[in-house]
Chains A and B, each alone.
Chain A
Amino acid sequence: MSDQAVMTYLDESELPYFFCPGCGHGVITDHLNAALVKLQLDPHKVVVVTDIGCSGLADKYFTTNAFHGLHGRSVTYATGIKLANPELKVIVLMGDGGCGIGGHHLINAARRNIGVTVVVFNNFNYGMTGGEHSVTTPPGGFTSSTPFGQLEYPMDICQTVAVNGASFVARMTSFDKGLPDLLAKAIQNDGFSLVDIWELCTAYYVPNNRFSKSLLENTLTSLNLSTGVVHQATRAEYSRAYRQSVADEAGKATLTSHPILPHYRSNLDRRMGIIIAGAAGKKINSAATLFCRGAVLSGLWANQRNDYPVTVKSGHSVSELILAPKEIGFSGITKPEVMLLLFKEGAFTVHTQLAAMNEQDIIFINSDLLPVKTKAKLIPIDFTQTGRWVSKKEYWSIIALSKYLSDMQIYPLEAFKEAVSARSEFAEDNLAAIEAGEKLC
């Protein structure tokens, strides 16, 4: 940027404004320009983000960067821009319509205190589509979609963002001389700012309601609303707060490769399907992953497909495992060779696979779940014989997998022990559970 002062941020070649005669939008645009001139910001470091509606025409007049986005979403683009590059001054121009359809984004931008300035061109109706009512249409107001008068209560945009964490909130009318200074203050605020500017829509709201400057001011009074700064707070600005909160993470190793070096041997010479039918919250999936890790340590290929409902701590949890001496293709199991039937929740969901099993197949079954109708060979596990593990159901799948490995020698139990030891958090208990399973033999 040159040292010379910027006299205007408006593109003279685009003037005069395209707004209707008497519309407040041109006045607000002029005042915003005056605020920018006062602040002398580098136009390259300013992004004017506009919404849909007549106010969305305003960005074309500025010599700064511009982003004209979808209806109600302007605050989200502004948030993305500010988050990505905090040194930019981001100014959102939106109408009362945008505040309605994008109300959720306004609230959340205020909650974050993201450093953007929202300027609301509030003229109580939709000027671009034909004068329909908006979230700010005053009680009884006549619009093309409220021909019998507005029944809905008007949204207080200022209070909405103020109670949700905004750090600078002000209301003014387009007739107020102090508007450039107020806008400059809003832009300078380090956090989320909103200026709600009341104005006249000479195309619709004025003729439909014989509305005027004095009636606009009366509406403010009747709704008990004040002008000027209505709320100020000191809070950390989000894009910088985010950077501070993650500062210690910089340079840490990200998801890197954790290769598994096979150093045990398995004699498995065919694909084997194993189903663990368990219950949610009983560590079925994590036990299955450790079991797969043991298999890979033994030179096998392993696949683990989990099935569960959307609930986390209730309902079934079923892991379908495939072990094979070569790379595994199809990840489904139409007929398992082995099933660990541990909890009734899981038992309910594996009927089809259970029915498909035949005399060569084996089911390790929690003896509480007996009898069960199947052609497969049943090997009961009585968890009351496991000592302290009887009450620790989240280790039952480890115990059952250990018994299965001990009985069938699919791969060495030592490999399973090594796999559980690699996960330090529960390593000790997991190892003890493997030993408990071994003793069941």
Chain B
Amino acid sequence: MLPMRTRLLLALAALLLTTTYALPLWHISLRAPQYPEGLGLYIAIDAVHGQGEFDLQNLNTLNHYIGMHKIIPDEIPELRFLPVAIGVLVALGLAAAAIGRRWALRAYAAILVAGALAGMADFWWWEYRYGHNLNPTAPIKVPGMTYQPPLLGGKTLLNIHATSWPASGGWILVAAVTLVVALVVLDWRRSAPRAAA
């Protein structure tokens, strides 16, 4: 059996995931000369919304010039799938803590890391499609130009400088995954000498 402290921390990590129901995962912020007040998007597990009340609409208005597909939250299947996936991850984490076995911890860590990587990959793919699938009749066509926003960090796209970073929920998610991975590592270190002996 895993020590009680490890099991409690595992349960805590699972419970931390529930904050993503309330807090946004990601923040894409855009700066342009005509938008001194800023323009941006928050991405949550079940929604995409503007940082200002009308930012999503305004972003779509601007994007139509370069032929980007409109961001319509209702048409993004991930936003229906993610709340369920997070729920399953929380349940699995609590189950692993209840089981309290090393295999359960390791299995959960593997699922969590795989889930996080899959999520990032999916996000990248989503950004790729938005940035590359351009309407051929768009008014503004710049040869060779695509508009994929950065996954992490900043990038200048024509007159707009885009930055992309985890938002509060995203950082908590990172913390939860890190915690679970740390628990695996600590457990492995503790058990390693005995295994050698």
Q: A and B bound? A: no
Write the residues of chain A forming the contact surface with B, with a CB cutoff of 8 angstroms. none
Write the residues of chain B forming the contact surface with A, with a CB cutoff of 8 angstroms. none
